[in-house]
């Protein structure tokens, strides 16, 4: 297997029709005992013949979403959206549901796919709180409901050929 390290904004063709670009995110990194924040943390824009999916992985909200949105026409954003308590511990690593919606808007994406909720009981929040807050923020902003996808735990979602 061939492995290539990428810096932010570097891209690699992984097949003739699929390209992956490593883009910034807001998180921390650690691979050993003494290397905190010595490596880049990032997300990926996966471009196929019919769409572009932006997968940020874990990230806090940051102004880079608008920059990524300006560089790519994002069709789908699988988005982490969970509240991590205590906020002081997780503030630079994850964003809350309301911030996930703002990131979606900043990106100019066409489709939001909720992820990273209800999988593990890592925090004090009720398991169903993140999707409830996400729906509430979506409605508050009067965003089109057909663009919001919150799969049930274990549900498979057909993205309709979006890669």
In a domain, 159, yes or no: no
Residue 38 resides in a domain:
yes
- What are the residues facing 112 on neighbouring strands? 77, 148
pLDDT in tens, 104-123: 999 999 999 988 777 767 67
Give residue 34's domain range.
11-149
Instruction: Determine, yes or no, domain membership for 99.
Output: yes
- The enclosing domain of 76 has a CATH number of 3.60.15.10
Report residue 45's pLDDT band, with 50, 70 and 90 as the boundaries: very high
Burial 28-54 (b: 16+ CB within 10 A, else e): eeeeeeeeeeeeebbbbbbbeeebbbb
Q: What is the pLDDT of residues 50-102, one digit of tens each?
A: 889 999 877 888 899 999 999 999 999 887 655 555 554 445 666 788 989 99
Note whether residue 162 is domain-resident: no
State how many domains the chain has. Answer: 1
**Whole-number mean pLDDT of the chain?**
84
- pLDDT digits 0-9 by tens, 4-18: 889 999 999 999 999
Burial of residue 61 (number of CB atoms within 10 Å: 0-12, 13-18, 19+): middle
CB atoms within 10 A of CB 109: 24
The structure tokens listed for 86 are 């205590």
Q: What does DSSP say about strands 148-149 and 111-115: parallel, antiparallel, or unpaired?
A: parallel
């Amino acid at each position: 297997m061939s492995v290539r390290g990428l810096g932010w904004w570097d891209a690699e063709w992984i097949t003739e029709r699929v390209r992956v670009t490593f883009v910034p995110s807001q998180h921390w990194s650690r691979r050993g005992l003494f290397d905190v924040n010595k490596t880049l943390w990032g997300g990926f824009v996966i471009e196929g013949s019919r769409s572009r999916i932006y997968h940020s992985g874990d990230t806090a909200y940051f102004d880079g979403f608008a920059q990524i949105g300006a560089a790519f026409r994002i069709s789908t954003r699988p988005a982490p959206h969970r509240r991590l308590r205590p906020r002081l511990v997780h503030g630079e690593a994850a964003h809350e549901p309301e911030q996930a919606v703002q990131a979606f808007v900043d990106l100019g994406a066409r489709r939001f796919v909720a992820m990273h909720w209800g999988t593990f009981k890592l925090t004090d929040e009720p398991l169903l709180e993140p999707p409830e807050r996400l729906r509430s923020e979506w409605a508050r902003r009067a965003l089109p409901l057909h663009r919001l996808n919150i799969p049930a735990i274990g549900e498979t979602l057909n993205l309709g050929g979006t890669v």
